[in-house]
Structure 1
């Protein structure tokens, strides 16, 4: 069997642009993806955020609302405080997977860490492939992760729920739904557009290729707090550089003052 020629850099860049353009069209055209709902009022901001992801890949710029950090590892990330940038790049946005962690010796797989002594979710990792993606209709979520004290808040004249049941590995990637090892309490802004922008980018790539993507999501807790301060996400596609990021997203919500020890929150003063 003859070996396939590795595509040139120009062809790879064209493929990346193509995937991301498709992603933007899908995001803007859908009001609910992976069970996360958008209001008409925030579609414009979502388009702007998605467009910025395209610019970050093709031009080397950072996505909108994105900063940087020198923190590495869960303990260092847990010490970070939100200062206006909800997403920050870790290790200059370069994933840190070892050669062994990128091995395809076990094929496509997904692993969910055990809950800790406080019943908190500990993390999930996977070697993603199109074969793991679900085909059945998704059922409603009903389990409550730690810190689940949902309430409605008002921000900029709109009322919204504060929290979502946030998947570590998005349902569209592995089909895991009411799995306590895969769910954490996440704010609306952490869930969408925060995590979802990156999940949709991976999902679009998997649907269009036969490639695999190494993916890891780790919730970051501070001490014994029941609500995570954020999530550390990194991913790397094996055959191309189409998927490659290492980020930390703060679990914050404009309009809410959150007690991370319990998950309870109060309406922020306007």
Structure 2
């Protein structure tokens, strides 16, 4: 005896309406119980909420440009060869400043920071301190990384890079064009704090049509 065909529990019209309704609800993020989805042969994948990641942004306000450099007429005296003068370390062993008359031949004659030198306040490892042995006169401008008088503890990001690098690159570009640049970098400390509060940079080209003439201060903050 032949079996009778089992009728579907719902008519095709009801099935179609139900399927469409489930799909529409899924689009709007409404979760339809699995039992109902299975009843009508529909499976919707619930969209997961996007994962939000908290990005740590710097609170450093960035370089503050203060206008043209303040070198005296005597300080802008040119000479045949360039020079760099590192100021003496203070009683706490902190670098106090550096001056230079930069010539094109000095480009890339500097050295990387010597890892055996630990400027006051420096803690090894970028994570979590973010410290760097910051050159006063940058390596690409001929600054030594083997002279403690040229190294001070800076926050690598954003102080050393990209803030200081931005102005060093401006000077470098002028040197590459054959200019001579008078340059001065001064770390400013508060009391006996080992890390400087800020870095002051001045640069002025000696060429008549120079593109370099600035005075800028950069807070030594993360």
Change (3 A) 1:123 1:106: farther
**Cα distance, 1:84 vs structure 2:** 5.3
Q: Distance in 1 between matches of 2:193 and 2:219?
A: 15
Structure 2: state its 5+ residue gaps: 1-58
Q: Per the alignment, in what secondary structure is the counterpart of residue 117 of structure 1?
A: coil
Q: Please show how residues 143-222 of structure 1 align to structure 2 within 5 Å.
A: 143-153=117-127, 162-188=130-156, 189-209=158-178, 211-222=179-190
Count residues with an aligned counterpart.
162
RMSD: 2.2
Q: 2:196 aligns with which of 211, 217, 228?
A: 228
Q: Per the alignment, in what secondary structure is the counterpart of residue 101 of structure 1?
A: helix
Q: Distance in 1 between matches of 2:166 and 2:65?
A: 15
- The higher radius of gyration belongs to 2
Q: Distance in 1 between matches of 2:109 and 2:203?
A: 23
- Counterpart contact for 1:133–1:175, Cα < 8 Å: no
- Counterpart contact for 1:87–1:194, Cα < 8 Å: yes
Change (3 A) 1:129 1:190: same
- Counterpart of 1:141 in structure 2 is 114
Structure number with the higher strand fraction is 1
**Cα distance, 1:196 vs structure 2:** 0.5
**Cα distance, 1:179 vs structure 2:** 1.0
* 1:205-261 alpha-carbon deviations (Å, 9 max, x no partner): 21222x2100000001001111101100010001123011101000011xxxxxxxx
Structure 1: state its 5+ residue gaps: 1-82, 154-159, 254-270
**Cα distance, 1:149 vs structure 2:** 1.8
1:244 equivalent in alignment to 2:197: no
TM-score using structure 2 length? 0.67
1:108 equivalent in alignment to 2:82: yes
